[in-house]
Structure 1
Amino acid sequence: MLAFGTPEKQILIKPIFAQWIQSVRGKNSYGFDVLLSLMNGPSFNAGRSIWLPGWLNVVNENSNSLFLKIGPGDFLVQHAIALSLHTTILILVNGTLDTCSSKLMPDKKDFGYSFPCDGPRRGGT
């Protein structure tokens, strides 16, 4: 991400948690030695022979797109999507609390409504 459009002010944000989650599932390229990416661990050995035959080979091949490399752009896109979803939910919750038959906000008169059944811009009942 470039802050203010100049390369020397570049902010590199690494999505460490997402990379760690992929490493837990066997991706070796990030350098985390946990669970399925730990080459001499019991889960790695059990996974190769019992319940994940071929999984570790597929995950670590460069020719497929099962797990893509995660970079700063993915981190920013995820946060933009999360912000828009949270904003939408807040708008919807606000709309339901402002409706005439809201049981979630019984003290509407304390928030500036003339009558408990008033909604925004209705002017009373």
Structure 2
Amino acid sequence: MLDQKIIPQTSFSIFWKLKSLNCSFMTWLTQYYPFSLLYRDRLFHYNNLRVNKLMLRMENVALKAGVEILILSGGTGEYMAEMIGHLDPKTKNRPGIITILETAFQDKYGTIFVRDEGDNVRILIPNEIFQKII
């Protein structure tokens, strides 16, 4: 008889492997016309590959600082680029964690601001620095 803990973990890992294969394939595919016209606003689009890699690098910097964050979305405005991250809702000492995140990002990349917005964390990067980082 199978242990019940093995089945969800196995299906979860299979799901993430298939998702990563699909994203890799879609990234490769969207660099060629006419497929480049599809899904331009999605993170897996070839034009957004550098932003996606930046988000992953920022998650790694946060993890090295001892904070687990998941950055899911973002965009650029006239003056600032912003990314929306999520912390565990059960996190205690949220203001301290926001300060740790901001310090870690500023040590690595320069002027970056981190703001708490309830369930979300908003990461603000001036466009000049954003272009240098990417």
**Larger strand fraction of residues:** 2
What is the TM-score of this pair, normalised by structure 1?
A: 0.27
